[in-house]
Every structure is written in C-alpha cells, then in structure tokens.
Amino acid sequence: MTDFTQFPASFTWGVATSAFQIEGAWNVDGKGPSIWDTFTHTPGKIIDGTTGDVACDHYHRYPEDVAIMAGLGVDAYRFSMAWSRVQPQGKGAWNEAGWDFYDRLLKELESRHIDAHVTLFHWDLPQGLQDEGGWLNRDTAYHFATYAAEVARRFGNRVKTIATHNEPWCTANLGYGNAQFAPGVADLKQSVQVSHHLLLSHGLAMSAMREVGSTAQLGIVLNQWTADPATDSEADRAAAAFEYARSVEWFMDPIFKGHYPELALRVYGDNAPVVEEGDLAIIHQKIDFMGLNYYFRSFCSTETPPRQPECKLGKTDMGWEIYPDGLTELLLKLHAAYALPPIYITENGMANPDTIVDGEIADEARIDFVLRHLKALNDARLQGVNIQGYFLWSLLDNFEWNSGYAKRFGIVHVDYATQKRTLKHSAHWYRDYLIQQRPQKTANAA
C-alpha cells in the first residue's frame, strides 16, 4: 500500500510503551513488587518462561531510547508509570528514588521537545494491594486516587495528558475473567465487580487530579473493537450485540451516559456488580480526552467450531485478523452514540516475526499495517470524528505479557541478550512519513 494520507499540521504523532514491558529494574532503588512480578515468577504462567526483571532495561537506558524517539521526529511519547516504583506498597510511604527516575525521564523528553503522555495504570498493581484483595477490594480505588493526585501534584504541569487506566477491559477480563493475565483469577462475578471498581477508581482519580490543579489533559485509554456477527443468524447477531455491550458499552456508557448497558446487565444477571449509591455520578464526569487502542475486530460465531473470518489481509503474529476497516466503523459508531471529547489513537500496531538479516530488519508487513490503519482513522476524521493524534505501538520490542519475549511489536528491534537497539525498516519509514507530514519540521538527528 503506497498512498499517502495528509493529516493536519496540529496532529500529534507519537510512539508508546508501558512500564512493566520495558523498564526492568524490578527490585531496584526501593521499588516494590507488582502483581506482574509475582505472576511472571510463578512457573507456568508465561509461555516462554521469562520475566520482566530486565525487559529492555529502559530504567538504565532511557537516554538512548529518548534519543531514538528524537531521531524519529515524533512529537510525543506515551508511557506508563509503575505505581509500585513510586509507592512500593500501593499506599503509605512514597519512594523518592522512584519519583526521581520519572523526573529524569521527563527532563530527557523536555530536552528533546517531546511531549509526555502519561498513563497511571498499565496493569502492574502493587503486590501489597493485591495481598489485601486487589481490584476486588473497593479500597483499592481510593488508594489509586491518592496515587493519581500525587502524580498530578508533582508532574501535572509538565506532561501533556494523564490517562487513569490503560485498557481496564484487560485487567478485568484477562486478569480476573480467564486467568490469562495477572493476578490469574478465573471468576466471572469477580471480573465484573473488578471492572466496576476500575471505573470507580477512574472517576475518583479524575476528581483528585483536578483538585491539585494539574494543567494536563485528563482522560482514560480503552481498548475497543467492532463486534460483527459471523452470519446473519439470530444467534450470531445476539452474540455480537452482547460482545459489544460487555466490551465497549460497558466502559463507555458509565463514563459518558452515567449507567451500565441494559443488555449486559440483563445477561450478567446475578453476576452484575455491586454499585453503591453515588458511584455512577463519580464515574460519569467530563474527561478532556479519550485514548482508543485498536488492533482487531471481534468476529462472533455461535457455531461449533466457531466460524472464522476470511482474513483477506492476513493475520498478525498474535493470530489477530488484520482489519483496518473496523477502525473506521468503530470510530463512526462511537461518534454517533456518544458526545466524545478529542480522541487519540493511543495504540495501534502489529506483532511480526522479525529477524535480522545482514543487519537489516525488513518488516514491510508492519508498514503496510500502519498505513492501512492511518487511512482508516483519517476516513473517520474526515467524517467528523475529532481525532487529535496517533501513537504507534510500540517503540521497542518488549515483554509481551503472557507471551513473554516471543512476540515483537516494536519498530525498534531489541536483542535481549545484549540490549542492542536496531531500527527496523518500519522505524525508518515512520521517520520519513513524519517528515512528509510536516515538511516544515525535520527530524532531529539521533
């Protein structure tokens, strides 16, 4: 795919990572353990048996990584903070050495004129809070608000945006629904209750951050998809309607409409969450932006075995269908249903089985993937959806959760044995693409 899509000069171009996937230094300088430290240290939880103990060693190599970003010419860097690095137990004493790390990272970004977009929680709950019930314990939502307020107090005037959560659907459904992710629970009722406490914590954190006078834009990042019936059968259409309700509307409706979707509540029945008086008013408050992560659509089949999509554009190395049209369809559907704030596409990218040949990593499939999705999001933008930026996932190959290091999403290759970074063809392409987007702004030399 070679066509070029021109975006407005004000459009934000960035790359994204998360703390547990790249930082390493899991027990350095006073950091407390997170549930992902515990999970990865438990035999049998990670497909390749690895941990995030070192990961990309970004904790020590952040100046090199920021220099790579500057060489790409990006405007912005989206990253998450490790809660247990700055507050080892998730409550109580702060760890100044942890705050110092993020201060140094922000200074490095500021020196390169790269805007910081911070996520407070990307799944790595302090183990100390998990020991008291984790997100199943309502108190965790209040501890999260205290943490959020402290981040906003210290850094809220130095960062562009602060997102409360990244993909709370994953925390609830993969962490508590099917045990695929930390903390490794498989219980529908717990999963649904956790999703409510996550949303409550979002609302509490929004209020807490506003109270300290942060100038950052405040919001949340949600992973979303269209839910398409595999056939026109009544069963498939009903399955698709429920999938969309439990995944997209379950998080959107409380934030933007002040209630949970009726269809999902009806299907959940006795598994519906306990919602205390006033909770929905806390959740249902203005947000300054919404981050949207898109990788694939949901293809809903009730047949046995389930009918599979055609995958006309193939699949990624995760086995996910490549379906860029779903991004346009999703954005237009959301635009029609909700009064949306400005949107950032905060994650989009693909896992690819990248290998180095003669010093080169030819990942043209990733370039094609990104180009098609940029066209898809621009199609939605031209139809009235207020999209302000795009963050390519991911800057670096990194620890891919329960897949360990077997899957590579980065536009920069990481040799985990030596920590050598090598720009893939997609990184060179992204740099050149941004130069085309902004002829008045050339990329800084790395």
Catalytic residue numbers? Answer: 347
In the structure encoding, which two tokens stand for residue 375, read together? Answer: 């066209």
Residues 6+ apart with CB under 8 A from 157: 214, 215, 216
How big is the chain, counted in residues?
Answer: 446
Rounded CA-CA distance 296/304 in Å is 22
Contacts of 131 (CB under 8 A, 6+ apart): none
**Which class for 36: exposed (0-12), middle (13-18), buried (19 or more C-beta within 10 A)?**
buried
Maximum separation of any 2 CA atoms in the chain, in Å: 63
**DSSP-assigned letters across all residues of 159-191:** -SEEEEEE-HHHHHHTTTTSSSSTT----HHHH
**CA–CA dist 6, 393 (Å, integer):** 20
Please, which residues have CB within 8 angstroms of residue 370's CB and are 6 or more apart in sequence? 348, 349, 350, 392, 426, 430
Q: Residue 272's CB: how many other CB atoms inside 10 A? A: 16
Residue with tokens 């314990």: 137
Given the structure tokens 């049209």, which residue do they identify?
325
Between the two ends of the chain, the Cα-to-Cα distance in Å is 28
Q: Which amino acid is at 368?
A: D
Cα gap 97→31, rounded to integer Å: 8
Cα separation, 269 vs 265, whole angstroms: 6
**The tokens 């459904």 sit on which residue?**
173
Tokens of 78: 């989206």
Residue 127's nearest CA partner among 98, 90, 77, 85 is: 90
The answer, yes or no, to whether the previous bond of 261 is cis (omega within 30 of 0) is: no
